[in-house]
Amino acid sequence: MKYTYYAFGAFIGFICGTGINLIFYWLDQSGVKFAGFLIRNFGVLGEYLLELINALPIIGAALGIILIKLLFGRELTERSD
C-alpha cells in the first residue's frame, strides 16, 4: 500500500511540475523572451536556471515522494496486527 502512496505523490508532483514548466513555455511562446533574458543578463547562471525549469517535472515527482514520506511516515512504517 505504501507504494501506492508514493506513486500518487510522484504523480501529483509530476503534474504540478509540468504545469509550472508549461507556464514558462507559454510565456516564451507569447513573445516574452524569458530564456533570452536569463542568458543575456545572468550568463551561465541563467542557463543553469533554464535547465532547472526544464527539470521541474522530475524535481516535482521527487519532492512529491518526499512529501508523502514526511506526511504519512508513521502510517507507512506501522505494521498492522
Q: Work out the angle at residue 18's Cα, subtended by the Cα atoms of residues 43 and 48, and round it to the nearest 5 degrees.
A: 15
Phi first, then psi: what are they for 38, rounded to 5°? Answer: -65, -45
Query: Cβ-count burial of 38 within 10 angstroms (0-12 exposed, 13-18 middle, 19+ buried)?
Result: middle
pLDDT at position 80 is 53
Predicted TM-score (pTM) of this structure: 0.80
pLDDT at position 65 is 94
- In order of 21, 23, 46, the CA distances from 41 in angstroms are 21, 21, 7
Q: Is 43 left (phi over 0), alpha (psi -120 to 50) or beta?
A: left
Walk along the chain (81 residues) and give the pLDDT tens digit of each residue: 888 999 999 999 999 999 999 999 998 899 888 888 888 999 999 999 999 999 999 999 999 999 999 998 888 787 654
pLDDT at position 79 is 66
**Cβ contact 52:59 at 8 Å:** yes
pLDDT at position 26 is 92
